[in-house]
Each structure stands twice: as C-alpha cells, then as structure tokens.
Structure 1
Amino acid sequence: MSASLYDIEIERLAGGSTTLGEYAGKLLLIVNTASQCGLTPHYAGLEKLYQTYKDRGVVVLGFPCNQFGAQESGTAEEIGAFCTKNYGVSFPMFAKIEVNGDGAHPLYKHLKQHAKGILGTEAIKWNFTKFLVSRDGERIERYAPTTTPEELVKDIEGML
C-alpha cells in the first residue's frame, strides 16, 4: 500500500507537480480545505500543528476543494494569498481538487478506501476532513471535519 500512496502525483498550488514520495518517511496530515467555510479557522490550528511538529517530521498538506457549498471558488493565486494573509499558512498547499465523485483525485480515492468514514462510508462529508498517515504510509486515520486540529495532538504524538 505505501508504494502506491507515495507514487500519487499532486499539483502544487503555486504550479509544478510532485508525488507524495517527496514526503515519504514523514507523518502526514492531509486536509481538504476551503476559504469560505465555517470551519476555515481550522487553518490557524493546522498551521500551529505544523509549526509545533515540523521539526519532528510532521507535514500538513492542504488540498483546496470546491465541492461543498462552492466554498473554495478562488483561483490558485487567490487561495494562496488568502491562506497566507489570514492564517499565515506556511505548510504545503496544493492545487484545487475534487474529493468525491468520478473526478475524485487519486489521493482521495486511496485515502477513502483505506480509512472509511462513519458507518463504513467512503464519501467525504465536508471541508476539513482530516487524514493522518503514518510515516510508512500503512496506517491511515480519518477525522470528521468538526474535529479540531488541537484534538489531533494526542494521535500525532502517538504516531511519532
């Protein structure tokens, strides 16, 4: 499983592409984000987690998504400027993707298959659904959109 996870190609918000292989060996917190959502203040907590744990090998990866209430309608430049100006986001942000449906990004297809939601559903329910991926890519934990970044500290510590 880990090899396929790290082979997934992702587009950077600022342009260019990479694979998750760039982050192999790191503890990953992957989040579908939105700039105009009631949960948008989670950006502040995500940035705090990143600043607190980046030197210990934790990376937050943000994936803007416009599939929930059209709450991420901006361009890549607008999204990047919003995140920096309002929340000081310094963790890696990626190009806007879809997380559900036929156009779902391969990363989210993988995450949903390996960490199902409540009652075994795969669909992402809303912005700021969070996935914590172990350093070897084998263990994936899924968290509801309303789970705050601060509530993840115990699990992050446990996986470090």
Structure 2
Amino acid sequence: MKKIILVICSLFVVGVLASCQQNEEPKKTEMKPTQHTFSKNNTATVASLKIEMLGIKDAEKSIPKHEKLEDKKLVKVDMRMSNMTEYKIPMAASLFKVLDSNGKYQPNYPMLDELGQTIAGNKEIRGVVYFAIPKNSVIEKIVYEDPKRDALHEWTVEK
C-alpha cells in the first residue's frame, strides 16, 4: 500500500514540474538593428564641393548630461569636404538630413562640435553631423541640400 501511495505521489510531483516548465514563455530577444556604413568610394561632387562620407558611428556618449533623447539614439556621420573653387563656401550641419529605416526624414541634432564653418578656396575640411533617430531604426540615406546654391545629393548607406 505504501508503495502505491509513493508511486502516485511521485507521478503527481513529476506532472506538476512538467506543467510548470511548459507554461514558461520563452524570453524574447529584442533584435537591435545594425547600422551599416558607406562603400569605399563614396565621394560626390556637388556644386563645386567634393564631399566624401567617411562613416557612421554611435554617439550616445556625446549626449550632454542634462539632455534626454527619450526613444531615440544619437549617431554621428563623419565626412570630408573639399572646396574646388577659389571662393569661400559656407557649410553647416543643418544642410544635412537623413532618411531612417522607418521612412522618415530626420534633421540634424545640434551639437557643439558639429560642422559649421566656411571652407576657404581650394581647401579641405573634415567634420561631423549628428542625428537623433528612433532606437529601432538605422540610417538608410544621407541627404545634402543647399537651396541657396541649388545643390542636392543623396548618399545611400550600403547593407
């Protein structure tokens, strides 16, 4: 009799343990989109400017302590520009915007060390432009648009 009760109790315990394991939902791993970069030769000549996109990097550590981006992440785009004329050409980060993977255009995010200067004739500069894009997206395109100089160009980010 004791053996039968022991077997029944053992089966009950095994059944309870088995049912507990089946009720656990598998942990969902959040897929973080991977930001791609530019091809090796990604230089364009736009209205007397030779612009080369050098790379896209995470810039979360650059956010000032008092600022919060909520559901966005900060990325920076590094670029090199050459003035192919003898005249000065003003260049500002506000002339750039990005198309994110959600299909929305995002303007630049103002930072102290962003691009903003005049490029002297036949000179080259290097600068960065910051963008705050949604955390679940990546940059698909970078757009340079200067309506005063009638200049427009798009760089597609490779996948």
**Bigger Rg, structure 1 or 2:** 2
Give the structure, 1 or 2, with the largest relative contact order (CA under 8 Å, sep 6 or more): 1
Q: Same fold (TM over 0.5)?
A: no
Bin of the TM-score, shorter chain as denominator length? under 0.3
> Taking structure 2 as the reference length, what is the TM-score of the superposition?
0.25
Q: Please identify which structure carries the higher helix content.
A: 1
> Taking structure 1 as the reference length, what is the TM-score of the superposition?
0.25
Q: Please identify which structure carries the higher strand content.
A: 2
